[in-house]
Amino acid sequence: MMRRLFAKTDGAVLCAAALCGCHLDMWQQRRYEPLEKGAFFGAGESASRTLVEGTVPYQMAKLDTHYYQGRVNGELVDALPAQVPLTAELVQRGHDRFGVYCTPCHGLTGHGDGMVVQRGFPQPTSYMDQRLLEAPLGYFVDVMSNGFGRMYGYASRVPIEDRWAIAVYVRTIQLSQNATPDLLPADVLEQARQPRPGQEAADAPAEGATHEQ
Ligand code: HEC
């Protein structure tokens, strides 16, 4: 009885030893140490590939708080970061992404009357609210990144470059409904003042006409 028990135990020990052996073979295979000289990529080269130009450690990239958080020295800023130039493509991209991710609740014109809201989701503040008209660009990036109240964050779905594009587009929506003529370049303003065909003068609405929003 005792002998049979020992025999079984020996078997188990042998098995374990054999498995360890396998592990050791893999463990002790030939390999290069990090940054060691090696012939794999050519004689006299490093065995590791050199980094692509401009590579920065992930954590260091996140230190660019302007780009990643819309903040400089802890304060939300009303300026685009250097890597996001203001171009027509940026606005177009923002328009496109806003349509996908934001209109369901905020509506096409930013008044907070999207389809989801019409079906009972809490209504967000209109982008035309004075507080949001004055909010810096970084604020919109911050709301998209971290969420706000009952609105969840979009960091996992909208990459940071698109969050900037959307923020710029939100500003465009705001301007489209609140711009003053002095924001126009002089020649465009002049053109806008020209009476259109069939109209007496651009600034003189017809008798009885009401100005609607
Ligand atoms: C599922 C609905 C929904 C979607 C989609 C949505 N939001 Fe919101 N958003 C809300 C609600 C609701 C609030 C108000 C939350 C509250 O006050 O608790 C809000 C608030 C905001 C605010 C205002 C914060 C303030 O200070 O009042 C901004 C800016 C904003 N959202 C931007 C966006 C942008 C940009 C997108 C697209 C990336 C987006 N939201 C997508 C529902 C949504």
Q: pLDDT tens per residue, the chain (213 residues)?
A: 445 555 555 655 555 555 555 566 767 788 888 888 888 888 888 888 888 887 877 766 678 899 999 999 999 999 999 999 999 999 999 999 999 999 999 999 999 999 999 999 999 999 999 999 999 999 999 999 999 999 999 999 999 999 999 999 999 999 999 888 888 889 989 988 888 887 765 555 555 555 544
Residue 180 lies in a domain: yes
Per the CB < 8 A criterion, the answer to whether 137 and 171 are in contact is yes
Residue 102 lies in a domain: yes
Per the CB < 8 A criterion, the answer to whether 70 and 138 are in contact is yes
Per the CB < 8 A criterion, the answer to whether 56 and 67 are in contact is no
Mutate to test the pocket of ligand 1, among 103, 129, 151, 169 (most ligand atoms within 8 A of CB): 151
pTM (two decimals):
0.70
Instruction: Please tell me the distance between residue 87's alpha carbon and the centre of ligand 1 in angstroms.
Output: 25
Residue 43 lies in a domain: no
Output the CA torsion 156→160→165→170 (10° steps): 60
pLDDT at residue 7, rounded to an integer: 56
Question: Is the minimum distance from the CB of 160 to ligand 1 under 6 angstroms?
Answer: no
Mutate to test the pocket of ligand 1, among 98, 100, 103, 105 (most ligand atoms within 8 A of CB): 105
Residue 197, by phi and psi: left (phi above 0), alpha (psi -120 to 50) or beta? beta
Domain that holds residue 174: 84-193
Q: How far apart are CA 106 and CA 113, in angstroms?
A: 6
Residue 23 lies in a domain: no
One-letter amino acid at 106 equals H
Q: Work out which ligand 1 atom sits closest to the CA atom of 140.
A: 29
Q: For residue 149, what is the domain's CATH number?
A: 1.10.760.10
pLDDT at residue 30, rounded to an integer: 82
Residue 54 lies in a domain: no
Residue 15 lies in a domain: no
pLDDT at residue 105, rounded to an integer: 98
3-state DSSP assignment of residue 90: helix
pLDDT at residue 20, rounded to an integer: 53
Residue 138 lies in a domain: yes
